[in-house]
Structures are given as C-alpha cells and as structure tokens.
Chains A and B, each alone.
Chain A
Amino acid sequence: MFNPLDKILVNPIRLMITSVLVKVESCDFNFLKQLTQTTQGNLSVQLKKLKESGYISIDKSFEKNYPKTNCKITKAGIKAFEDHFENLKKYQNLNLK
C-alpha cells in the first residue's frame, strides 16, 4: 500500500529545512540560508509555506537593530516528516525490486 508523497515536503529546499529542524531544537535564518544555498527571497517563501502548513513555527525578533528569524519544528511537522520518510523508503524498495 503506497501513500502519495507529501506535496509540501517534495520540494528539496523545504525537505532540507524540515530534516534539519527534526534534529535540532531551533535554527536561525542565516544557517538555513547557508544550508540550502538558496536566495534570501526563496528561503523566506519556503519558510512561509512550511509555516502555513503548520509544520514549523517562526519566531521573529530584533537583535542590535537587525531582524532575527528563528525556526522550530512543530509536532505536525515531525509527524509529516516521519510519514514522508517512510513513504520514500517504501518507494525506494519498490524501485530496487
């Protein structure tokens, strides 16, 4: 029985962000930008989509007059990531047969 892959997590940038956030407690915007090697605008769009899906929470603050964005994964995000990963493994096993 194969479930369709999560449309939100199929996007490589969003998948990378979620993968990192599953492992860490919190992560800032600059680290995610460095990790995903994408533009500031694109990263903002992907973070917004993840937030709208309820997969992550975003905390915005100011530090020495500079905006600071901190991201955390939600319970729904962890569940979605785990399901997505299980489905990926099932599809991979199918391809190997």
Chain B
Amino acid sequence: MKDQIQLINDAINKTKENLKESSFNFIFWGLLIAILSFFHYSFPEIVQKHVYSTMLYWVLIPVLGMITTILYNVKKQKKVGYETYISRALKIIWGVFNISWIVLIFVSLEKKINPTESILFLLGVMILITGLLIRFKPFSFGGVSVVTCSILCVYTPNNSWLLLNGIAAILGLLVPGIALYYRKSNV
C-alpha cells in the first residue's frame, strides 16, 4: 500500500508547473512595446511619415511578434509533453487577448479614435487575471499599473500617451516577466 502511495506521489511530482519558461513571453512583449513606444515618441516624423505608416508600425510589428511567441510556445509545449490546467487557462486568456486586440484596432480605425486606452485597459485586466491565477504578486501589481496608465491616457495631451504606453509595458510586462524568470519556486 505504501509503495502505491509513493508511486502516486512520485508520478505527480514529475509534472511540475514550469512557469519560468513562460517569462520569455512577458519579457519579449514588454521590451517590444516599450521600444516601439519610445521610438515613436522620439521620432514621430519617421513613424508618422505616411497615412498608413503608423498603422503598419503598430500592427505589422506586433503581428510578427505574435507569430514569434506562438512558434516559441508551440515548440515549448512539444518539448514538455504535457499541458497543465494553469498553462491551458493562460493559453486561453492570452489567445482571447490576441483576438480582442486586433478587433479593438479595427473598431478604433473605423471610428477614427486612438485605441491605446482600450488596449491598455484590456491588457491590464489580462495581466491582473494572470497574476491572480498563478498567485504571483508582481503580475497583479503590474496589471493594476497598466489599468492606471490606461485611465491616465485619457487625460494625456498629444503624443504623451506613447510615454505612458512604454511605462505600462515596462511595469506590466517586462518587470513581472523578469521577476517570474528569477522566481525560485514553481506553482
């Protein structure tokens, strides 16, 4: 009987939740959005050269980023050989965000409004849910910071929303991503 219980224990312990590898996604997106935002803020004459250049800049590069992260995650999943309930929940949350983000861009273009506030708000909520799900405070704080930035964006004049966008990416994605990478214990 003792052997059987030991066997169950050993088998269960071999499927640890490995969230450290997921930190790549957050670090990658944190860096990418921060760089895009600060570059746009510093050199608006390059990014806003043509009518569609801003749209291409903010859609094409993130879509390429999405492809990169999807390929990375598929490869990681194959290597691990199993999918935990938390990793499935995270996959659904961020999959929904990816679709919603594209829909928000489309709606904003049709209505000729800046989509930053809505996208940041949605991103903040997703980060907060992630933090609560994996029980990791840096993500919960990051999510709240991004939601705060989305509200501040409403009252920001001219191109200053780009600075807030960059700060939100650092506080909500980059910092929690690095904290997750250096986290000692897994869930």
Question: A residues bordering B, Cβ < 8 Å?
Answer: 10, 12, 15-17, 19-20, 22-28, 30-31, 34-35, 85, 88-89, 91-92, 95
Contacts and interface: CB of A to CB of B under 8 A. Distances in A.
B184 interface: no
B84 A35 contact: no
Nearest to A89: B5
Interface in B41-87: 80-85, 87
Contact of B8 (A19, A24, A26, A91): A19
Interface of B: 1-2, 4-5, 7-8, 10-12, 14-15, 80-85, 87-88
Contacts of A19: 7-8, 11-12
A15 B2 contact: no
Contacts of B7: 12, 15-16, 19
Given A19-B7, A88-B1, A92-B1, A25 B84 contact: yes
Contacts of B82: 20, 24-28, 31
